[in-house]
Amino acid sequence: MGFSFRRQKIETASAPVQSIANGDEQRSLADPAAWLFDLLGAAPVNSGVTVTPATAMRCAPVRAAVEAICEAVGGLPLHLYERGASGARSRATGHPVYALLHGEANGWTPAALFREQLTRDALLHGNGFAHVGRDGAGTPRELIRLDPATVTVQQDRTTGEPVYRLTGTSTGRFLDRRDVLHIAAPSTNGFSGASPVLECREAIGLCLALERHAGNLFRQGGRPSGLLSFPSKIGADTAARMKASWQAATAGGNSGGTAILEEGGGFTPLAFSSVDAQFLEIWGHAVTEIARVFRVPPHLLFDLGRATWGNASEMGATFLRFTLDRWLKCWTGEIRLKLLLPDERQTVYTEFLVDDLLRSDLSARAAAYSQLIAARVLNPNEVRQMENRAPYDGGDAFLNPHTTTAAQGGAS
C-alpha cells in the first residue's frame, strides 16, 4: 500500500493521578473488589476450587459457552457500508477501515481471529482491548490486541471519560481513549467490564468440583466404597495386607478383576447415598447455571434435553437475539466511535451479516425468497448474491414474476 506507516509511541500521561477515580467503593474481606482477584489471579469459592479465567476454560460447559459466542462473532462476515444520497448503500471497499475489519487486523492476525480473541478476552476477563495504530494523518492502519491483564480502566472524575493505563512498568503509561478499541462485558459502573467468570465464580466452581469428583470416582474404579468383613478378629498387619490386595485387584485399571479373600472374609458394597444418586441431576443444574451466566441457550452447550427438530431453528434465532446481538452492537459501536471520523459517521457504518444464523432448510428459504421477489422487496440478482451465485442480465429489475409477462417486463 502506498503510505508511510509508523506505530505510535504510547505516551506517559501528564495528568495528575488524583484526577482519576479508581471506582473502588468500600468493600469487606468477605466481598472484596474484583481488582483484588485480578491482582491475586484467583477467586476462592465455597466448593474449594480456585476459579480464574484459565481454570474456568478447563470446565467443559464454560468453554462451550465462551466459544459459542466468540467464534460466532469472529465467523460472521463484517462489512463496512457507505450510504449514498439516494439512500442506497454499497460496500466501502476503498475505505482503509474495510481492510482492518474484513481482511487483516494487522500483519500477523486475520480480522476474524482478532474479533474472536477480543470477544474471548471480554467473556473471561471482562474486557478486551486493542490499540489502534494510526499513520501520520491519523488514519487507522492496524489493530493490535492488548493483554487484558496489563490494562486497567479508570474514570476521570472531572470529565467522566475512561482512562486506560498500561501496568507492568514503574511509572505506568496511559493510552488515549480514542486509540483503544474496548469490548466490555456488562458491568454496573458503565466504563469497565465485569468478568462473568469472577462475578459468577460459585456456579463455575461447583461444576469444576463436580468434574473433579467424577474424575476421582472413576479413577478409583467407578464403584462406591464397600466393607471387607471377617468372621473372626484379624491383626492390623493382616488387615492392611488384605486391603492392599483387594485394591490392587479391583481398583483403577484393574476394575473387574478377580480378588481372593482369606480367613473366610466377604465384601459388602455400600449403596449409593442420596447425594451420589442425585449427582447427574446436580451436574445438569450446574451446566444450566453456566448457560445462564453467559446467556447461552443450553442446547449450544450440548444439553439437548429440551431440544427437538422442530425448535432447533427457533433456538438459533434466540441465540442471535438474546446472546449475540449485544456483542455485535458492542463491536459496531466501538468501530464507529474509534475508527471512523466524526464527519464519516453519518454515511459510513458497519454491519454483521447474520443471515447464515437464520437460514432454515432449502425449501423454506426458497419460498421466502420467492415471496420477497414477488413483493418487490428483493430482485433476483440480490437473492443470487445472498446465495453466493453470479448475477445474470436482467436480474436487477424489481418485477413480480406472477403478474408480469415477459413482454411487459422485457425479460426472458
pLDDT digits (tens, 9 = 90+) for 55-104: 999 999 999 999 999 999 999 999 999 988 777 778 898 999 999 998 99
0.85 cut: is pTM over it? no
Is pLDDT above 80 for 44?
no
Tell whether 185 and 60 lie within a shared domain: yes
Quickly state the pLDDT bin for 14 (edges 50, 70, 90). very low
From the CA atom positions of the chain, what is the Rg in Å?
30
Q: What are phi and psi of 132, to 5 degrees?
A: -90, 110
* Interatomic CA distance for residues 315 and 322, integer angstroms: 10
Q: Which domain holds residue 121?
A: 1-223+273-359
Average pLDDT over residues 154-177: 83
φ/ψ region of 290 (left if φ > 0, alpha if ψ in -120 to 50, else beta) reads alpha
* Interatomic CA distance for residues 34 and 291, integer angstroms: 22
Integer distance in angstroms from the first to the last C-alpha of the chain? 45
* Nearest alpha carbon to residue 127 among 143, 105, 150: 150
Tell whether 153 and 95 lie within a shared domain: yes
- Would you state the pLDDT for residue 83? 86
Tell whether 156 and 266 lie within a shared domain: no
Tell whether 371 and 354 lie within a shared domain: no
Tell whether 257 and 368 lie within a shared domain: no
- Cα angle 150, 151, 155 (rounded to 5 degrees) comes to 155
Element (H, E) at 229: strand 226-229
Tell whether 74 and 174 lie within a shared domain: yes
Summary mean pLDDT of the chain = 78
Is pLDDT above 60 for 118?
yes
- Would you state the pLDDT for residue 6? 47
Tell whether 339 and 239 lie within a shared domain: no
Element (H, E) at 34: helix 34-40
Is pLDDT above 50 for 15?
no
Is pLDDT above 50 for 2?
no
- Would you state the pLDDT for residue 42? 55
Q: In sequence order, what DSSP letters do the residues of 349-398 get, joined into one string? A: EEEE--HHHH---HHHHHHHHHHHHHTTSS-HHHHHHHTT----TTTTS-
Is pLDDT above 70 for 368?
yes
Domain count of the fold of the chain? 3
- Which cell goes with 123? 467473556
